[in-house]
Each structure stands twice: as structure tokens, then as C-alpha cells.
Amino acid sequence: MNTQNTNHLRSESHSHDQEPPPILRILREGIVRVVQEEAERLNPEPAQAISRWLDSGDPDAAERFLLRLAEDGDPAIQWCMGMACAVGLGAEKDWPRAIDWFRRSAEQGYAEADPTADVEGIDAGRKICILADLAFGHQVNPEKVPMEGITGLDLKDVELAGHHGYRIKLLGRCLRLEGNRRTAYVAPHLISADNPISDVNDVFNAVVVRGNATGEVMFYGKGAGELPTASAVVADVMECVLESRPRPEIGWSADEGGFVSPMELKGCWYFRSHTPAERVQALVPEARILEAGKDTVFITPPVTGQEAEALAKRLPVSAHLRVLG
């Protein structure tokens, strides 16, 4: 990234002749799909051109097309630009500029003008608390649920994850443990590209439920936009008006007992450390080394969160994330 691109990302107005910020290189998986869908909606020829530009390794023309769509008022692309500014992808974090893009998108019913609750994991945390209440029958206090967003992510880890067959997604999880214990948390995870959750992008949301008999069941659909939001609201109103029979109350116990820290959960962790691979293997003999060089990138065997944090204190760690098993 160079200073010239950063300045253009921050400028209050843009010229189509200026060099655009490297948005597509940064949010490749999510934004490329959005751009291609938008191009196909507008004209199939630009979509084909974008594919050729990306395949040739020259995304600049596609970036200019993306920036033009945002400036011309496309709410989906404006949202993508806001995300790039909010989390510092392609440039330094620029909240005023991010808020401006989100505001433009929100005015068209696409996104919230203040993205803090989304990018910091707060919105997902509130939702996972409600789901946990309903699923387990006991209240889950949001103040006890760790909520980690995406603002701390590094582009290098996004690229490394993609290179090794993973994608990074923000997940909210609630789990029932042995002994009628429960836990919940929100955090970015490495997810295998083979997992259907890895393909949930743009305004789409997914909820995965694991049952004793059913196994995993995924519910998938749009979670933003004028029509999806309006449809959900109108459906609830119609159900209240038209439903004549008494409805069973849905509730849960106010007892918060049994909630435990998610740091007690065992799972694999992704690490990127400025530590020789030999030392990593000495400390974690069963670690799977993904890359060894200036940085050693590895995935641990299943360990608790406390053990992962202890390892992070012993190594000069640049990043460590949970891996969805």
C-alpha cells in the first residue's frame, strides 16, 4: 500500500481519473463477488471485463469500476467501501470516511450509519444471547459474553488464510456443555473453504443449529436491505393481527447459573509468530506448520483458550485466532 492510495481513500471527493484505493486486493473474496454481481445486473460486458482484469492480476481497472459504482450511489458498494475504511483494509483506519460511506448506504436502506455494533461484534453478541436464551432456557447475560470484532484483524492473516484453504469470518457461538453448563462468545474464526459458512458474504446471514438427531442444519438468507427488513416486520405484524388462537409464551429462566467462560472450550488455534519453526515445534510438538520463514504460521492441536493465551505470552505473536472445528 502506498500513501497516494491512502490519501485518495480519505479524500472528500474523487475523480475517476485518480488512482483508487486497493479495495479489491484487500476484500477480494467478498467485494469481488459483489462487484461481479453488480456488473452482471448492469451489463454483462463489464462483468466479463472485471473477470479478465482480476485473472490477469491487474485489478486497478476493476477498482475504478468499483469506486465509480460507489460514487454513483450503489448502496452495496458503498457499504463495502465503508467496511474497508472502518477496519483499515487498504489504508489506515478512517472512521469519519467510513461513517460517510455507511451513511450513504444507510440512506438507501442497506446498512446502519454507525457500524460500530457490527464491526466490533456487539450486534452478533446480542443476537447470540437471545438465541442461547431460547435454545437453553436460561438467561445469558450479555455482559458475561466476550465480544471480539474484526477491527483487530490484519490483512496478512486474511491472505494467509485464503492461501491455505481457509476464510476468516466473524462468528457468534453458543454451546451447551456437559453438566448443564453453557457458554457463548463472538470472535473471528478461521473456517475451511469447504464449510458452507465460509460462503456467507455481503448482506447474507446464516444460523447453524446442531441437533442430536438432525446433525447440523443451516438457515441462510438476506439480513439487510429495504425489502428483507420490511418483509420481516410486515410478517410479524400480520401474524399478530391474523392469529386468533392464544399463542404459547416463549421465555426462559432468569437463572444465570451454569454459564462458564468460553476460554474453557477446547479447539484449534491459528498463530502467526516471529519465531523460528524449530522453537514452535519444540513448544507445540503437534502443531501443524503452514509456513516457515520470517513468520511461522501454524495451527495448534485442540487446546483450551487459557492454554492458547499462555502460548501467546511465550511467543512474539502477531496474530492468533480460533479455528472452527
> pLDDT, tens digit, for every residue of 184-212?
999 999 999 999 999 888 778 899 999 88
As given in the structure block, the three cell numbers for residue 211 are 441437533
Number of compact structural domains in the chain: 3
Catalytic-labelled residue, pool 93, 127, 169, 222: 127
Return the SS3 of 206: strand
106 lies in the same domain as 135: no
205 lies in the same domain as 249: yes
Q: What is the pLDDT of residue 15?
A: 34
Q: Check if the beta carbon of residue 174 is closer than 8 Å to that of residue 131.
A: yes
CA–CA distance, 256 with 58 (Å, rounded to integer) = 54
Mean pLDDT over 276-291 rounds to 95
Residue 12 pLDDT > 50: no
Of 184, 114, 156, give the one whose Cα is nearest residue 318: 156
259 lies in the same domain as 125: yes
Q: Check if the beta carbon of residue 176 is closer than 8 Å to that of residue 182.
A: yes
Q: What is the radius of gyration, based on Cα positions, of the chain?
A: 22
Residue 13 lies in a domain: no
Last residue of a domain, one of 54, 80, 112: 112
Q: What is the pLDDT of residue 16?
A: 35
Of 83, 84, 93, 148, give the one whose Cα is nearest residue 122: 148
Residue 79, domain extent: 3-8+19-112
CA–CA distance, 248 with 58 (Å, rounded to integer) = 59
Which residues are paired to 320 by β-bridges? 271
For residue 290, what pLDDT band results from cuts at 50, 70 and 90? very high
127 is catalytic: yes
Last residue of a domain, one of 77, 112, 147: 112
Would the pTM count as exceeding 0.85?
no
For residue 88, what pLDDT band results from cuts at 50, 70 and 90? low
In the block, residue with C-alpha cell 469470518:
169
Residue 19 pLDDT > 60: no
> How far from the centroid of its chain's Cα atoms is residue 182's Cα?
24
Last residue of a domain, one of 90, 112, 134: 112
Return the SS3 of 270: strand
66 lies in the same domain as 174: no
